[in-house]
Amino acid sequence: MKELNFSLKQLRYFLVTAKHKSLRQAALELGITQPSLSMQLKLLEEALGLDLFERSRGGVTLTPIGREMIEEARQAVSAAESIVESAALAAHGPSGTFRLGVTPSLGPYSLPWILPAIHHAYRGIKFFVREATTTDLSRDLKTGVHDLIFTTLPLEDPALTVVPIFREPILLVMNAEHKLANQESIRAEQLAGLEILTIEEHHLFFKQVEELCKKFNAKLLRDFEGTSLDAIRQMVYMEMGAAFMPALYIRSEIRDRNELQVLSVEGEQIYRVHALAWRNNSPLRNFFRGLSEFFQKTAAEHFGEDVVLQ
């Protein structure tokens, strides 16, 4: 077997350069000079006996063999990082900064209560939090952008471990002046023809609202999709329609019930399920499983009847 004369650092440089297609941008991300980056990439190519990039004044472009190497290089770097993380975990316990991805319709209304409790229990760890849609979170988790994600189901991928944490009820919110707002619940048949506002289509929550409108024969207002739950709430204030909204958002943001009325749908259990997910081969998988139990415990303590544990 041929002796390996290149380093994992060089593979990482290769991946960053392939991402940017620019030596200058890659060097900026890596925090090194452009000549140093060029030299390390040249050494990698010489060790492999291959040209990985085509170089021009406009930047760099992967050669066909370079494109084929992307996934193998990514797996090699990920495996090496896993070894380092496993060693650190065994020697010192969980510590460091974890990259947590979360959906924008969940994170702001749950993490402000959950993360402080985790920080108090695990003094050695911190969380760098980034918001994205469920599709992007799943993709970025697999490629190593995130260490774990807190997201809404469904999430089905054989490469990921998915642990449901809790169910969050979905309730109907309407302006207090609406003719149906003088009650705490609404019958399913009263939803027929009711105009319903929703979030933009690329959010998973849109699909759930769309399905509810089909089920109850309500009218989905596609011309007035909100960019966020806050935007939808403002449109409900302006009597542009009613909206299905998650219980944790309502708990956090809708306090003045003189302006908005919150109703349940009689005889219906409407909810969404949230879960923690991580890569199957993560060296921190046992810690993450324990962390999922901590998420559940903290959610039960802080949110009470607004969530149902899985």
- Using DSSP's 3-state secondary structure scheme, residue 170 falls into strand
17 and 155 inside one domain:
no
- In this structure, the answer to whether residues 152 and 204 fall within a common structural domain is no
- Whether residues 172 and 141 fall in one domain: no
The CATH code of the domain that includes 212 is 3.40.190.10
- The per-residue pLDDT for 1 is 47
CATH code at 20?
A: 1.10.10.10
Does any domain span residue 152?
yes
Q: What is the pLDDT along the chain (310 residues), one digit of tens a residue?
A: 455 677 888 888 999 998 888 898 988 888 899 999 999 999 988 888 889 999 887 788 899 998 888 888 888 887 777 677 666 665 556 667 889 999 999 999 999 999 998 888 887 888 899 999 888 999 899 888 899 999 999 988 898 999 999 999 999 999 988 988 888 889 999 999 999 999 888 888 999 999 999 999 999 988 877 788 999 999 999 999 999 999 999 998 887 667 899 999 999 989 999 999 999 888 788 889 889 998 999 998 888 888 888 7
Domain boundary among 35, 70, 88: 88
> Which residues lie below 8 Å from residue 64, measured CB to CB, with a gap of 6+?
none
Tell me if the pTM is above 0.75.
Answer: no
